[in-house]
């Protein structure tokens, strides 16, 4: 048995090494390190896969979110509604742009932003909602889009954890996460479901005008070289990363299938356990299991983490401190927020290893050890 890791990038690489090495060598031979052909090739393939008109590659997922918000022409102090239970990047870029993050609750079962909490937080200054498809399943995008329409708000989807997930509307129509809102954002950080071998990200939209704005902002605000229309930034996906992603995109659905099998195995092993709530998947979404996250009931989470670690089983807390309790947001009166569901989840979640190359023996060891912990 291979030692267990939360994500085993090495093992996955070894499976696809000849293709990857050839693609990287191709970029080295061309020396087109910036904006080489693979960048546009990959963007085209990703737009086909997602069924979205425009894919704008950029340097990382945080930049994707920042550029998306910059393209909407918001004014300092405009309010942006976002979950507190997320990775910090989602909320950080809002504050960085001098907008006001307004933290709201998540649904206790799905871990994603709760539409009724969004509605309560809407004020005349609200301009946008940033839902996060946390751990790999979609937030309730139908309800969110209805609210957005009703109150004339933009929706920027943080799809860093759910690329490939399908959302089904009540009329039966299906769309990929990240293609439903005004703009979608993703990250190709190595451990993400579609990860490269460095940093990378992308922005999606079906709106031609916004696509042009996004492209311009990511490229120093220029449409014509050396003529700069707006203050932008420098955010590019490099050619080597694009060449790697173009290969891994073809395998994404298989990779998702492998993750779902791992989740099934865990779900069966823990079904009905009094101390363990297994992940709930809402009926409107598929789950691509970027993380496999349990809620512990009546259990000492640190003790479980340490017990597993001693047996060679890693586990992680995503995330130990919700955004509204981060020092970073002191000036936004993070402490004044009452988010009991977020706090409750923060104290009880624990994520188990999940990736595309897990071995049967590893899964058996992990589930055996978790169950053994509760027998003490």
Ligand X SMILES: *Cc1c(COP(=O)(O)O)cnc(C)c1O
Contact residues toward ligand X (CB under 6 A) are: 60-62, 86-87, 89-90, 132, 158, 160-161, 187, 189, 199, 201
CB of 88 to ligand X, least distance (A): 8
Q: How far is the CB of 90 from ligand X (least distance, A)?
A: 5
Pairing of strands 292-296, 276-277: antiparallel
| Cβ at position 208, least distance to ligand X in Å | 26
Q: Which residue carries 């759910």 as its tokens?
A: 162
Ranked by CB distance to ligand X, the top (closest) residue is: 61
Q: How many helices (H) and strands (E) does the chain have?
A: 12, 14
Among residues 140, 233, 134, 137, the alpha carbon closest in space to that of 181 is found at 140
3-state secondary structure of 89: helix
Token representation of residue 303: 């003790």
| CB of 105 or CB of 199, closer to ligand X | 199
Of the pair 60, 205, the CB lying nearest ligand X is at 60
CB of 133 to ligand X, least distance (A): 8
Helix locations, 161-251, DSSP H: 208-218, 239-250
CA distance 190 to 165: 18
Our CB check for ligand X shows the closer of 205 and 362 to be: 205
The least CB distance from residue 17 to ligand X, in Å, is 24
Residue closer to ligand X, measured from CB, 161 or 182: 161
Q: Which is nearer to ligand X, 235 or 286 (CB)?
A: 235
Which C-beta is closer to ligand X: that of 252 or that of 304? 252
Smallest distance from ligand X to CB 351, Å: 12
Q: Give the contacts of 102 (CB within 8 A, at least 6 positions apart).
A: 79, 80, 81, 82, 121, 126
Max Cα separation, the chain? Answer: 69
Residue (252 or 276) nearer to ligand X, CB: 252
**Minimum distance, C-beta of residue 162 to ligand X, in the bound complex (Å):** 9
100-104 sheet: strands from edge to edge = 54-58, 201-205, 183-187, 154-158, 126-129, 79-83, 100-104
């Amino acid at each position: 048995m291979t030692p267990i890791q939360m994500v085993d990038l090495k093992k996955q690489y070894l499976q696809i090494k000849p293709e990857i090495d050839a693609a990287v060598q191709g970029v080295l031979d061309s020396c087109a390190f910036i904006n080489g052909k693979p960048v546009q090739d990959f963007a085209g393939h990703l737009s086909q896969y997602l069924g979205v008109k425009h894919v704008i590659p950029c340097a990382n997922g945080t930049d994707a979110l920042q550029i998306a918000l910059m393209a909407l022409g918001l004014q300092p102090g405009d309010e942006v509604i976002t979950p507190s239970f997320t990775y910090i990047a989602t909320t950080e870029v809002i504050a960085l742009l001098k907008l006001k993050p307004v933290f709201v609750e998540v649904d206790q079962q799905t871990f994603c932003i709760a539409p009724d909490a969004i509605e309560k937080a809407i004020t005349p200054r609200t301009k946008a909602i940033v839902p996060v498809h946390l751990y790999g399943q979609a937030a309730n995008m139908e309800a969110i889009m209805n609210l957005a329409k009703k109150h004339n708000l933009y929706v920027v989807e943080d799809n860093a954890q759910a690329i490939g997930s399908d959302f089904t509307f009540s009329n039966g129509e299906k769309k990929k996460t990240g293609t439903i809102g005004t703009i979608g954002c993703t990250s190709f950080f190595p451990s993400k479901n579609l990860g490269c071998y460095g940093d990378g990200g992308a922005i999606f939209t079906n709106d031609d005008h916004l696509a042009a704005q996004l492209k311009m902002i990511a490229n120093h605000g220029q449409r014509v070289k050396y003529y700069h229309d707006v203050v932008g930034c420098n955010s590019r996906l490099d050619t080597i990363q694009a060449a790697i992603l173009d290969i891994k995109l073809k395998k994404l659905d298989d990779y998702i299938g492998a993750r779902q099998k791992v989740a099934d195995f865990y779900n069966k092993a823990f079904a009905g356990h009094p101390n363990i709530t297994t992940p709930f998947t809402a009926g409107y979404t598929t789950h691509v299991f970027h993380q496999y996250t349990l809620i512990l009931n009546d259990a000492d989470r640190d003790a479980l983490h340490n017990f597993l670690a001693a047996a060679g089983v890693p586990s992680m807390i995503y995330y130990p401190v919700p955004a509204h309790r981060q020092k970073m947001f002191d000036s936004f009166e993070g402490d004044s927020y009452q988010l009991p569901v977020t706090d409750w989840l923060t104290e009880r979640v624990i994520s188990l290893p999940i990736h595309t190359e897990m071995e049967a023996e590893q899964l058996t060891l992990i589930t055996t050890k978790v169950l053994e912990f509760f027998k003490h």
